[in-house]
Amino acid sequence: MTLRQQFSLLTSLLVIILLVGNLLVMVMNGRDYFQQQLNARAYDAATSLALSMSQVAADDEVQLTRLMDVLFDRGFFAVIELQRIDNDPIYRRSRDSAGEAAAPRWFMQWVGLEMIAAEADVTRQWQRLGTVRVISHTDFAYRDLWAMVRAELIWFSWVLVVTLVLLQILLSWLFRPLARVERQALAICERQWQVQTDIPRPRELRRMVLAMNKMVQKLQSIFTEQSAMTEQLRAESFNDNVSGLLNRRGFDQRLQHILERGEEHSGVLMLMQLQNLSALNQSQGRQVVDDVLNMLGTELQRCLQEFPAAFSGRRSGSDFALYIPCADKVQANELLQQMFSQLATSVLSRRQELVFHLGGVFLQALQDDPVQALSCADAALRQAQRAPEGRAQLYQADNAATVQEWTAGQWHELLLGVLEVNALQLQFLPVISNRNRRLLQFEVFSRIVWQGETLSAARFWPMVEQHQLAARYDASIVAQVLAQLKQQTLMSGVTYCINISPASVLDEPFHQRLTELFRDAPQLAAHIALEVPESSLNGIETALARLALQLKPFGVSLGVDQVGTGSMAFAYLQRLPLDYIRIDGSFNRGLHQAQDHRFFIQSMVQIAHNLDLLVLGEGIEEADDVAVLRQTGVDGMSGYFFSKPLPSLAEAHQWQLPADDA
């Protein structure tokens, strides 16, 4: 029972008790009054009749009867009788109650007027002739008393109704601050820090609202401090404070994770060197150089915005590095020349009196040696510095294996053909719960099977985004996962995580397509999770929030992947309706040897758990890293240490964690 109902019930009981008590007192007082008046009237009538009969001869029965009739016909008396002293015949007149009851029978029985017979002696001179006995009629008393009770009941009913209505209005006004406090508390659970500005006047409610506001501000301050500390740790450990890009350690760490994680990668690694930065420092001062480096870092970040998985860093004073996913060597060379042109016509134009060169190497394999990759890129940089005709050079190996290359038109035709024949192949990577070592999620990966060749997402996805087919591919993957789930027995508590492209998030028809898919399979929607990379949130946060609101009725989960690789402040964790975050594998690789990585993950776990978010770790390959990651408090983990991606959903549902790994 709600507090409002309790107040209403208690008030109603108090009003009813007061009204019933007042009614009882009124009825009892009325009964006593009527009873006293009726008895007094009977006594007066008996005395008056006895006096009149004393003037009539004792044997004149006609006259005596007339005197009795005159008094009786008034209707106020039930019994009038004369009994002579010599026991001669008694003259008595009586009348029963009227045919129509003066009041309900139960009321008359409850009230029970007690009428006393009034007696008076009839005398002549000193001789007693007889006795007159008179009893008052009660019909009038019952009728009047019942009319009074009925009027009081009507009045009391109106009072009760009006009281309850006024009480509800009063309670609505009083409980309005409580309702706002409830919404405020629920908003905290939804990671929204609402402060009430409408402070109630009643002292108790005012103190409660002010205390709640103070708590909200304190929680927001704690979250802000935690986020700022974690962001500062990330910046100090992995970012260059002048250019705003990754430092040497941060860039090498991410590059190593991509090249050595055992999944196929496809991209171009670029090295850039500014030739006369030292001369500029000597001639114009350090501050001018710092401004140039800062503008260069800003321009590089702007150039890489259209490549969600790309990243850049400053390796030394005048050396910069970039990694951009691409499909093949042709696209790698196009990206290299495009990057050179953009820099040469903007921040590094000839007006800046800076000469720069760009060298790159195309990397495509299951595993590559980061040191060898950097050596090849450096060799290309040296080739660009020696070449008189240009300053951007792609590394050309003498013994490079022949790899089939496609033009942009051929890629477009290939990708459209895959969509038409539904040639996407899905793989499923288990995510293990840290609490009970059971399945928590499956990460869904996509492959293309085309003309007998299998292409990983690392190879074909850059071309998907270049030809603006990301929304169609993402919708196709979601539809294929739902179709396979319909043919399998659902696993309780297990979700299937699908990474969607930022371009899809910005595409309104993609939103509508997802709504249609989940509306057709509402029982499966709660088993689907959609996630986006953290590095892309800066441009899609509003669209992502709109998509989450649209999919919320279906129970679809929302997550952020590659946490720690973006430059966006962690405040997005409270702005977006997220369900989980996934720490990037570059922080988990070699975790047992990196204390700052461990502290960063522990900070993220604390922040996320305060917001009721699950924290997952990916890219686990070593037992030592697993042990340390479990100590940080993450909720789940995945990686080749537990399992490689499983080729079908049927095998995924049959997969079990080996006893040695549990």
Q: Is the pLDDT of residue 352 over 80?
A: no
Q: How far from the centroid of its chain's Cα atoms is residue 397's Cα?
A: 55
Provide the 10 A C-beta neighbour count for residue 31.
18
| Runs of H (alpha helix) within 387-454 | 408-421
Give CA–CA dist 607/147, Å, rounded: 73
Phi then psi for 650, rounded to 5 degrees?
Answer: -60, -45
What distance, in Å, lies between the first and last C-alpha atoms of the chain?
47
Q: Is 235 exposed, middle or buried (0-12, 13-18, 19+ CB in 10 A)?
A: middle
pLDDT tens column, 468-504? 999 999 999 999 999 999 998 889 889 999 999 999 9
Give pLDDT, residue 440.
Answer: 93
Tell me how long the chain is.
662
Output the average pLDDT for the chain.
Answer: 85
- The residues near 546 (Cβ < 8 Å, ≥ 6 apart) are 511
Give CA–CA dist 336/330, Å, rounded: 10
Give CA–CA dist 430/622, Å, rounded: 16
Give pLDDT, residue 163.
Answer: 84
Give pLDDT, residue 103.
Answer: 81
Give pLDDT, residue 246.
Answer: 92
Give pLDDT, residue 191.
Answer: 65
Give pLDDT, residue 617.
Answer: 94
Give pLDDT, residue 97.
Answer: 46
Give CA–CA dist 523/44, Å, rounded: 91
What order of strands is seen across the sheet that includes strand 319-325?
Answer: 311-314, 319-325, 265-274, 356-365, 392-394
pLDDT tens column, 566-580? 877 888 888 888 999
Give pLDDT, residue 98.
Answer: 47
Give CA–CA dist 525/522, Å, rounded: 5
Give pLDDT, residue 662.
Answer: 56
Q: Residue 489 gets which letter from DSSP?
A: P
pLDDT tens column, 509-537? 999 999 999 999 999 999 999 999 998 89
pLDDT tens column, 207-235? 888 888 888 888 778 777 777 888 887 77
Give pLDDT, residue 398.
Answer: 60
| In contact, 473 and 422? CB cutoff 8 Å | no
- The residues near 156 (Cβ < 8 Å, ≥ 6 apart) are 19, 22, 23
Give CA–CA dist 474/311, Å, rounded: 23
One-letter identity of residue 56: V
How far lies 408's CA from each of 328, 338, 411, 415, 612, in Å?
A: 10, 15, 5, 11, 45
Give pLDDT, residue 351.
Answer: 58
Q: How confident is the model at residue 466 (pLDDT cuts 50, 70, 90)?
A: confident
Could you write out the DSSP letters of every residue in 291-339? HHHHHHHHHHHHHGGG-TT-EEEE-SSSEEEEEEE-SSHHHHHHHHHHH
Among residues 468, 461, 436, 429, the alpha carbon closest in space to that of 447 is found at 461
Q: Is the pLDDT of residue 96 over 70?
A: no
List residues bridging with 428 in a β-sheet. 444, 646
List residues bridging with 444 in a β-sheet. 428, 498
Phi then psi for 497, rounded to 5 degrees?
Answer: -95, 125
Unique residue bearing structure tokens 């009204």? 19
| In contact, 442 and 429? CB cutoff 8 Å | yes
Tokens linked to 541? 């946060």
Unique residue bearing structure tokens 């007192």? 25
List residues bridging with 83 in a β-sheet. 131
pLDDT tens column, 380-429? 999 888 876 667 899 887 655 555 677 888 888 889 998 888 888 999 99
- Identify which has the larger pLDDT, 485 or 121: 485
Q: Residue 115 gets which letter from DSSP?
A: P
Give CA–CA dist 125/19, Å, rounded: 58
Give CA–CA dist 333/374, Å, rounded: 17
| In contact, 559 and 579? CB cutoff 8 Å | yes
Give pLDDT, residue 403.
Answer: 55
Minimum mean pLDDT among 106-120, 431-445, 543-557, 607-621: which range?
106-120
Give CA–CA dist 124/20, Å, rounded: 54
| In contact, 202 and 46? CB cutoff 8 Å | no
Q: Is the pLDDT of residue 654 over 50?
A: yes
Provide the 10 A C-beta neighbour count for residue 337.
16
pLDDT tens column, 299-339? 999 898 888 789 999 998 889 999 999 988 888 999 999 99
Pairing assessment for the beta strands 319-325 and 356-365 based on DSSP bridges: unpaired
Give pLDDT, residue 87.
Answer: 65
pLDDT tens column, 274-301? 888 888 888 888 888 888 899 999 999 9
Q: Residue 491 gets which letter from DSSP?
A: P
Q: What is the mean pLDDT of residues 109-120?
A: 86
User: What are the chain's domains?
Assistant: 3-162 (3.30.450), 239-394 (3.30.70.270), 422-654 (3.20.20.450)
Tokens linked to 515? 């709504």
Give CA–CA dist 384/147, Å, rounded: 114
Of the chain, the percentage scoring pLDDT greater than 70 comes to: 94
pLDDT tens column, 132-191? 888 888 888 888 888 888 888 888 888 888 888 888 888 787 777 777 777 777 777 666
Q: Is the pLDDT of residue 99 over 50?
A: no
Tokens linked to 56? 């009539």
Give CA–CA dist 498/558, Å, rounded: 10
What order of strands is seen across the sheet that includes strand 77-84?
Answer: 91-94, 77-84, 127-136, 118-124
Q: Residue 190 gets which letter from DSSP?
A: T
**What's the pTM?**
0.72
Of the chain, the percentage scoring pLDDT greater than 90 comes to: 31
Q: What is the mean pLDDT of residues 346-362?
A: 82
| In contact, 585 and 218? CB cutoff 8 Å | no
Phi then psi for 561, rounded to 5 degrees?
Answer: -100, 160
Pairing assessment for the beta strands 424-433 and 636-637 based on DSSP bridges: antiparallel
Supply angle C-alpha 533, 335, 275, rounded to 5: 105
- Identify which has the larger pLDDT, 236 or 489: 489
Among residues 374, 382, 250, the alpha carbon closest in space to that of 313 is found at 250
Minimum mean pLDDT among 6-15, 247-256, 474-483: which range?
6-15
How far lies 395's CA from each of 1, 5, 376, 388, 526, in Å?
A: 76, 79, 7, 16, 48
Give pLDDT, residue 1.
Answer: 67
Give CA–CA dist 503/471, Å, rounded: 7
Give pLDDT, residue 300.
Answer: 92
